[in-house]
Amino acid sequence: MFLGSFLSAFFHLLPPFQESCRVTKHIFVTGGVVSSLGKGLTSASIAMLLESRGLRVKMQKLDPYINVDPGTMSPYQHGEVYVLDDGSETDLDLGHYERFTTTHLTRQSNYTTGQIYQSVINKERRGEFLGKTVQVIPHITNEIKEVVLQLDDTDTDVVITEIGGTVGDIESLPFLEAIRQIPLERGRENCMFIHLTLVPFLKAAGELKTKPTQHSVGILRQIGIQPDILVCRTERSLDTSDREKIALFCNVPLHSVIEERDKDFSIYEVPLSLQANKIDDLILKQLNLPAASANLEGWHDILHRLRNPEHEVSIALVGKYAEHRDAYKSIYEALDHGGIANYTQVRVQPIKSEEIEQNGAEKTLAGFDALIVPGGFGERGVEGKVEAIRYARERNLPFLGICLGMQCAVIDFARNVAGLSEAHSTEFFRDTPHPVICLMEEQEGVTDKGGTMRLGSQPALLSDGSRSRAAYGVSDISERHRHRYEFNGGYRKQLEEAGLLIAGTHPEKSLVEIVEVAEHPWFVAVQFHPEFKSKPTAAHPLFAGLVAAAVTHHTGVK
């Protein structure tokens, strides 16, 4: 009797004991055949599905390039630089991670070959290797393992690490060798490899070809990595014979060959497509993770709104890199989020700002329902942005300016409303008689380019009665920054007297963060990057406000 009561009490204590001893599991996502297959989207989608099952997930991207971070890389080569709250300049895939999940990203969420080697060399200079010859194996691979395993903690069930680049690239080899070693140390039952690959359709042959996938997996297996799941990107459905061939030659079970067809409608279909193929069940079973039933009602609602819009608007995006969509990746996504919030299909037309310089704003922007001018660097196309903003201000066209877009809005207002005809930014015209935009005081004397701007989350206090205050619904906000130049406070009084509304300021430094034109239906320009904090499930207030204003402009109904 006593023994039975004791055992009952003992086993009653087992669940919390097991919970406290739970080992963090690791999922490694690799890609093969070609780049741009969508490893970031696939990784984010898997994380979202695991979160929907009640698991706690962290995410990380390891990039093989030697740059320390993407902050100094051309948008034409790398796309946008995504900025985190802590000021890290990271790969654009981290934007997918934040948009799809609730995971908190930090400097530990993105490492490059440059950072890895820099850390190892610094250790060598300090004598930490005790005179040993420093080599790729074990020193570089140990450093890579360390940055992966540092994410383990008792509050994390799964860490998903995406390996940038393509299997077979020489620069990816140290990362692949490092993740090969981790299961040997942490136990194969605690680690999983997911490989994203391409199954192309050859029109001439009229069939899908599995050989590229076989070769890609073959390279991984030569390295010592056996994929547990293959996610096959394809424009045509895989039939049973295709999947059987892939499973046989790649040494994976048939049910672990997952089809991921191209999504022409929306990237937000990807998680539901993967779930339909039961990828989350496969992961949970292999990693022996307890989980609740998936709750994806919110995601289904997103797709319902996208498929059944009540309105349609056209928005002009005027920028320096307009022809390169990835340069403004988060802005395109945030505009979609604004559309979701307003049951509206948003059609975005990219326009090079130089085109406005050549053809004029009247001809180029006629017929649009709103204008957005994003951030950027360099003098090329600046006058086209200023002219586009003037057109929006004078024609009551809804407008949102971001970073350089705000600075151009201030230049336009100073020139064409306040009477300062030669107003400019000292970034582009050092000797302007009216430097309404100037280098930040903290940037004086800074010569290094990488990681030296005003970066990361900064607070702002919103003015009562402003459109920004109404959009946010609160007076205190925090937004992410990436810039060196700012509104020149010496011109604040003069521009305010001319009618410019200072709608947001830093609570301590008095830096101007938001400007508005009060009489305009929607003219808001911000020094920060609101696009980095927008999600499909929670559109950023300024993007939701811009789309709402565009709907009003289009329909004429307030």
The confidence score (pLDDT) of residue 21 equals: 54
What is the amino acid identity at position 49? L
Whole-number Å distance between alpha carbons of 276 and 521: 44
- DSSP string for residues in 232-301: EEESS---HHHHHHHHHHHT--GGGEEEEE--SS-GGGHHHHHHHTTHHHHHHHHTT--------HHHHH
189-241 pLDDT, tens digit per residue, is: 999 999 999 999 888 888 899 999 999 999 999 999 999 999 999 999 999 99
* Confidence label for 556 from pLDDT (cuts 50, 70 and 90): confident
* H/E element, 51: helix 39-52
What is the average pLDDT across 249-269? Answer: 92
Residue 8 pLDDT exceeds 70: no
Whole-number Å distance between alpha carbons of 88 and 71: 9
- Could you give phi then psi for residue 447, rounded to 5 degrees? -115, -35
Q: Considering the candidates 311, 531, 540, 553, report the single residue annotated as catalytic.
A: 531
* Confidence label for 385 from pLDDT (cuts 50, 70 and 90): very high
* Confidence label for 397 from pLDDT (cuts 50, 70 and 90): very high
What is the average pLDDT across 489-507? Answer: 96
* Confidence label for 278 from pLDDT (cuts 50, 70 and 90): very high
Closest CA to 499 of 518, 485, 524: 518
Residues in CB range of 345: below 8 A, 6 or more apart: 306, 309, 311, 312, 313, 339
Whole-number Å distance between alpha carbons of 21 and 34: 40
b (16+ CB within 10 A) / e for 85-98: bebbbbbbbbbbbb
3-state SS, residue 8 = helix
100-126 pLDDT, tens digit per residue, is: 999 999 999 999 999 999 999 999 999
b (16+ CB within 10 A) / e for 113-127: bbbbbeebeeeeeee
Spatial contact of 450 and 400, defined as CB atoms under 8 Å apart: no
Q: Considering the candidates 337, 483, 520, 529, report the single residue annotated as catalytic.
A: 529
The yes-or-no answer on residue 403 being catalytic is yes
* Pairing, β 370-373 against β 344-352: unpaired
Structure token digits, residue 231: 């996610």
Structure token digits, residue 186: 């942490």
Q: Considering the candidates 191, 403, 408, 438, report the single residue annotated as catalytic.
A: 403
Closest CA to 412 of 356, 461, 368: 356
What is the amino acid identity at position 327? A
The confidence score (pLDDT) of residue 263 equals: 81
Residue 5 pLDDT exceeds 50: no
**Unique residue bearing structure tokens 């074990």:** 138
